[in-house]
Structures are given as C-alpha cells and as structure tokens.
Amino acid sequence: MKSNVTVTLDIKMQAWAIPSPGMDLDGLVQKMKDIGNQVLEVDRAGNRVLIGKVE
Amino acid sequence: MAAIVVTRGKLRIGQQASESTNYNAARNIQVMSVDDSSVAFDAADTALNTGGAVSNEFDAAFDATPTEAAPAVITHVMTVPTGSGNFTIRRIALHDDVAGTVSTSSTTLVAGIDGQSLTKTSDFAIVFTLTITYA
C-alpha cells in the first residue's frame, strides 16, 4: 500500500512595541509615526503598540 | 514576503519528533533572530546568510517555553530589548540551537519570515510572536 501524507506548515508573525521606561504610550505612537512604522493597534491596557503585519 | 519553514527545518522537526538517526536532544527550536537583510528566504537556505551577507542581526532564546493551541498551533515569543536590534528589521527567523551558537552563518535556520520593514530604536522594545500551524 502507498499512502501520501502532507503536512502544511504555516508561519505567521506579530510585533508588539513596548515603550522604554522614559516614554509613555502616546509618545511611542508618535515615535512610530516619526520613524515610519505602521501602527496597527494601540493596546492601552497592555501598554503596547502593534506594529507588525498580521496575516 | 515569504513565510517559510526551510527544508532543513522540516527535517529537524521530523528528526526531533521521530528521534531518527540525527536526532539531537539539544537541537530543539529555541532561538529567534531578527536581521536587516532584504534577501528573501528560500527552501534550500540553511543559514541566515545563505542568500547573501547579513549586516545586522540579533538573536535570543525564547522568553518562555513555546505554547500550544488547538488544533496544531505552536507559538514562540522573543523580546528584542531597547538596547538591541536597533536597525531596520526585515526578517525574523527561528533556529535549532542555543543563542550563543546562532549567528548569521550558523547552520541553524529552521523557519523565517522576510519582507518586513520595522525600524527599531532604543526608545522601545519589540516582542515578536511567531506561530507555526501544523495542519
């Protein structure tokens, strides 16, 4: 008997930016704009900004 | 952009799961790297620099043991601290050796995502979450 088994490996990435101790979240959002990073989501409760591309 | 598990990475996954001839208990997937190369990953790649020299790279062990979710998703997390990786991050990759061994030329590449463009500065850290779905 011959049988084929296919396993598809799908890989995805997220990138959350966390401000340094000397910067607040609004400052980080502005910083992202200044340096050209796309802000996809602002998580105020988590004190972080999603800048990675979610696919 | 390519998101790819390279051939040697697939073999490593199989080796570790089946404990085949070249199984090595120390060579599990344990490190994530970021670099500034614009070269796309290819299935035949074995190291970060297989397709061309890499100018800037940072790697570190995962923040914690990778987690699992149904039906077959494994999540890997690594933090690039404020003082590191301060360049344009274009690729993120997984490796099957310890951080002290992983380099731009180490034969440790398992999987990677290319075609990104994230400018990193010392004003912030970045927590990268990389998932592999086995389906």
Tell me if A19 and B129 make a contact (CB, 8 A cut-off): no
Tell me if A18 and B10 make a contact (CB, 8 A cut-off): no
Give B101-131 pLDDT, tens digit per residue: 999 999 999 999 999 999 999 999 999 999 9
Of A15-19, A25-29, A48-52, B15-19, the range with the lowest mean pLDDT is: A48-52
What are the φ and ψ backbone dihedral angles of A19, each rounded to 5 degrees?
A: -65, 150
Tell me if B132 and A9 make a contact (CB, 8 A cut-off): yes
pLDDT at residue A46 in the model: 96
Percentage of chain B modeled with pLDDT above 90? 98
Q: What's the mean per-residue pLDDT of chain B? A: 97
Q: Distance (Å, rounded) from C-alpha B76 to C-alpha B113?
A: 13
pLDDT at residue A52 in the model: 66
Compute how many other C-beta atoms are within 10 angstroms of the C-beta atom of residue B17. Answer: 9
Give B52-68 pLDDT, tens digit per residue: 999 999 999 999 999 99
Give residues 24 to 53 of A whose Cβ lies within 8 Å of B.
28, 31, 35-37, 48, 51-53
Work out the minimum CA distance from A51 to partner chain B, whole angstroms.
8
The predicted model scores a pTM of 0.94
Which of B123, B127, B131 should we substitute to test contact with A (largest number of A Cβ atoms within 10 Å)? B123
Q: Distance (Å, rounded) from C-alpha B9 to C-alpha B29?
A: 9
The ipTM value here is 0.91
Q: Distance (Å, rounded) from C-alpha A49 to C-alpha B56?
A: 24
Q: Distance (Å, rounded) from C-alpha B51 to C-alpha B91?
A: 13
